[in-house]
Structure 1
Amino acid sequence: MFCFGIEHEVAFLNKEGKFADFLSTKFSEFNQIVERLPIYPNDYPQLRVGDAGIKQKRWYIEGFERFADSDKVIDCLPKGIEIRTTIHSNIQGAISELSESFCLLREVAASFGFSPVLLSFNPYNHFFEPQLPLNDYEIRQLQAYPDEQTANIYMVTYGPDLNISVVDLSIERMIDIGKKLTYYSPYIVPFSYSSPFYHGSLWDGLSVRTFIRTGKRSATLVFVEKEEQLIKSVPSLTKIARIPSEVGRIEFKACDSCDDFSIYAALLALLKGLVLDETLLGRATIPDAGLHQLSAKEGFDNKDIFTTATKILQAAEVALSKDPDVKLLTPLKVMLANRKTKSHELIEAFRRVGSIEEVLRQTYQV
């Protein structure tokens, strides 16, 4: 039996119509939105609250936490608000909950002058550096977790975690699937591309996020139960589960954000098909940065990316066979046939209107 979940990061324009990030927005401004949103007691212990206590709800502020010279959180520099779903036994359940949570977030955010917009890379600030130097405690924390040393990347990127797990799957098989998804990541991610802006203008490609991020940060993360099950790698392929419900979870982390949640449904169906598939033999512990950069620049216009993406999609379709979820793959087939991504739409809109903010206002038209 499969289980599914989604974590989706949302960026915003503020009431002045400007992009709201860590330079222009305080924690309290996003927190007033989160405070107004409901809490569902039955969500726990499925959802992790975390040490800082920021993750109390299905919505929480995503950012860079600052600590006193101890484990006490004294501030959080925000980049946006993340929505996370509970665990579902079917893809549509996760998508429906995500849609409901997004609608609630948009409604409450509007009352404070914020409007959600689709992007996967900060269109103005390409680098994050804390204003105040890190103290000794913070430095020790970052050194203990290699992936946390790339805060300069994750604070300017936005994207989903597409979570999938299979009941009673062995650790060995789970890690093997993680390696498989890592290997095929450069061919999967173009279906999601939505970050063509950089430094206030168009970038020469389709996904700045993929170009800068993948290779330095994980494409796939597999949650294991015990220390001895970890595989040492930078970026990490494996991580110790922080709560029991995380054990056995495979997080695919390489995609750009999507404002059409049916693409998330399609991508989860693709991942499900790849779990079931036994014909694709590629495996990798760490993402191929060069191949991701080629993919980020050219997408499906690159012959190798297009051919292998087609092969992957066909393998997933065959593996799903008579499973109803096979129908969810349709948007990916259309995208592949047209060799067009969301980034192509955003680029065309920018050339038409000449304003990043104006283009962003046209996203999330649901």
Structure 2
Amino acid sequence: MRGAARYGIEHELALLRADGALADFASLTHAEVAAIVDELPDLPDTQTDLRIGDAGIRRKRWYAEGYERLDAHGELLRFVPKGIEIRTAVHDSAAAAEAALAADARTLATVAARHGLRPVAIGFHPVRSSYRLDPPPNAHERAVMAGSPEERTAHLHMVTWGPDLNLSFPESGTDPAVLADAAAKLTYYSPYLVPWSFSAPFRGGRPWGGLSARTSLRTGARPAALAYLEPGAPLLPSDPSLVRHAGIPGEIGRIEFKAFDAVAAVAGEEPADGGGTGLLGALLTLLTGLLRDDTLGGRRRTPDAAAHRRAALRGWADPGLRAGSLAVLGAAAAALAGEPAHEAALALLRDRLGRRDTPAGRMLARHRCGGGIVGVAPAAAGEPAQR
């Protein structure tokens, strides 16, 4: 890809109750989430780069994230929430996108606190490892699921949280082959990108032995990256998808990376102290450099599930994975050489890789020191784990 990039962030957050328990699909109601969202401002009439959707749930920068249950005629029957998502407008720099997200995250935290809830960035449900459709899907829902790989596996996202980091390169145009190649490149190098974000070291109420239960469970079944093409453009067949048609004109040309774990945008979302902020912007910089790079030739239409599971389990303790992360960081830095706006972000990534510092590592250290598990109320710590 060539030229300057434009950026957007979609930021999924879990919600904690006052006692520290996760407000999940089994206990969180749509009315609770709607009460928070209702206090936040609507999209301005001039906002054309954000999609609202058929159900009208996404009429703000903040909206309920979860699973839509449909009746036999395709009408919305009920909405099962898993948390709240924030999305930014499109910005001309990674720093501007991150700053806009941070401002909206602080606003959300203030409003949510009035309702007894706290947004937090964790990658995987610390207790429940699956979401079961109850009642089972009806004939219309089964037909929707058969329509695409992502609809078929949509239930997996109910126990996971993570950002969609969006980039577009206006100078590179909207050639479907160029966009598909960019998504295939990110898909290939995804196992070496995701460790910076790992924030899912707990599963079933305890440490599961790795750093990202989210990556282990869903990457492979779900896409690592997607490119958005003009309506009518031919779609490469793949499972999961690599390309899809844009829903609004502003989506055409977007390249979306979907495999990172949840990352804190502001300090209050950090599940363990010491991480600081700036990682989301740094990851946007990393993606920018990797897509600008013309030296790395790896491409895949679908994620390497086995490689992601190895990364999720061992992280940078694996020498091969560490070497791969160094390679993508080096290629990105070379492609962005001479652009001072990216230097601090690259330094942050270089420092964390050098120290093997991940959110998951800090969460585990906190747990070993008696700090508990984020999303598990202290009184419930001794109860049997749910799977």
The equivalent of 1:4 in structure 2 is 7
7-16 or 307-316: bigger deviation: 7-16
User: CA offset at residue 357 of structure 1?
Assistant: 3.5
CA–CA distance in structure 2, aligned partners of residues 11 and 245 of structure 1: 28
The equivalent of 1:285 in structure 2 is 301
The equivalent of 2:346 in structure 1 is 329
Question: Are 1:60 and 2:63 matched, yes or no?
Answer: yes
Cα-to-partner distance string for 1:200-258 (whole Å, 9 max, x where unaligned): 01110110000111000000000001334311100000011000000000000000011
The list of structure 1 runs, each at least 4 consecutive aligned residues, that deviate by more than 2 angstroms after superposition, is 168-171, 226-229, 357-361
Q: Equivalent residue of 1:215, what SS?
A: coil
Say whether the 8 Å CA contact 1:117–1:360 is kept in structure 2: no
Cα-to-partner distance string for 1:152-194 (whole Å, 9 max, x where unaligned): 3111110000000100423222211111000000000001001
CA–CA distance in structure 1, aligned partners of residues 284 and 83 of structure 2: 24
Question: Are 1:206 and 2:211 matched, yes or no?
Answer: yes
Question: Are 1:44 and 2:47 matched, yes or no?
Answer: yes
Count of residues in Structure 1 that have an aligned counterpart in Structure 2: 361
User: CA offset at residue 60 of structure 1?
Assistant: 0.6
Which one of 101, 105, 111 corresponds to residue 98 of structure 1? Answer: 101
The equivalent of 1:259 in structure 2 is 264
User: CA offset at residue 326 of structure 1?
Assistant: 2.7
CA–CA distance in structure 2, aligned partners of residues 349 and 316 of structure 1: 32
User: CA offset at residue 46 of structure 1?
Assistant: 1.0
Amino acid at match of 1:171: P
Q: Equivalent residue of 1:235, what SS?
A: coil
The equivalent of 2:115 in structure 1 is 112
The equivalent of 2:21 in structure 1 is 18
Amino acid at match of 2:198: Y
Question: Are 1:272 and 2:268 matched, yes or no?
Answer: no
Cα-to-partner distance string for 1:101-120 (whole Å, 9 max, x where unaligned): 10010000000000112211
User: CA offset at residue 142 of structure 1?
Assistant: 1.1
The equivalent of 1:343 in structure 2 is 360
Amino acid at match of 1:251: E
Which one of 179, 185, 193 corresponds to residue 180 of structure 1? Answer: 185
Amino acid at match of 1:222: A
CA–CA distance in structure 2, aligned partners of residues 242 and 101 of structure 1: 24
Amino acid at match of 1:348: A
Q: Equivalent residue of 2:103, what SS?
A: helix
CA–CA distance in structure 2, aligned partners of residues 98 and 191 of structure 1: 19
CA–CA distance in structure 1, aligned partners of residues 129 and 5 of structure 2: 37
The equivalent of 2:318 in structure 1 is 302
Question: Are 1:154 and 2:157 matched, yes or no?
Answer: yes
CA–CA distance in structure 1, aligned partners of residues 283 and 374 of structure 2: 28
76-85 or 66-75: bigger deviation: 66-75
Amino acid at match of 1:81: I
Say whether the 8 Å CA contact 2:126–2:374 is kept in structure 1: no
Say whether the 8 Å CA contact 2:293–2:335 is kept in structure 1: yes
Say whether the 8 Å CA contact 1:3–1:165 is kept in structure 2: yes
Which ranges of structure 1 fall in alignment gaps of 5 or more residues?
362-366
CA–CA distance in structure 2, aligned partners of residues 203 and 71 of structure 1: 39
CA–CA distance in structure 1, aligned partners of residues 36 and 204 of structure 2: 28
The equivalent of 2:78 in structure 1 is 75
236-245 or 143-152: bigger deviation: 143-152
Which ranges of structure 2 fall in alignment gaps of 5 or more residues?
266-276, 379-387
User: CA offset at residue 354 of structure 1?
Assistant: 5.1
Amino acid at match of 1:14: R
The equivalent of 1:193 in structure 2 is 198
CA–CA distance in structure 2, aligned partners of residues 43 and 2 of structure 1: 22
The equivalent of 1:224 in structure 2 is 229
CA–CA distance in structure 1, aligned partners of residues 177 and 82 of structure 2: 36
Say whether the 8 Å CA contact 1:349–1:359 is kept in structure 2: no
Greater helix proportion? 1
Say whether the 8 Å CA contact 1:26–1:77 is kept in structure 2: yes
TM-score, normalized by length of structure 2? Answer: 0.90
TM-score, normalized by length of structure 1? Answer: 0.96
Amino acid at match of 1:218: P
Q: Equivalent residue of 2:189, what SS?
A: helix
CA–CA distance in structure 1, aligned partners of residues 13 and 210 of structure 2: 22
CA–CA distance in structure 2, aligned partners of residues 43 and 193 of structure 1: 36
CA–CA distance in structure 1, aligned partners of residues 195 and 165 of structure 2: 15
Identity %: 41
CA–CA distance in structure 2, aligned partners of residues 151 and 244 of structure 1: 24
User: CA offset at residue 43 of structure 1?
Assistant: 5.5
Question: Are 1:319 and 2:324 matched, yes or no?
Answer: no
Q: Equivalent residue of 1:60, what SS?
A: strand
Amino acid at match of 1:156: V
CA–CA distance in structure 1, aligned partners of residues 27 and 113 of structure 2: 18
The equivalent of 1:364 in structure 2 is none
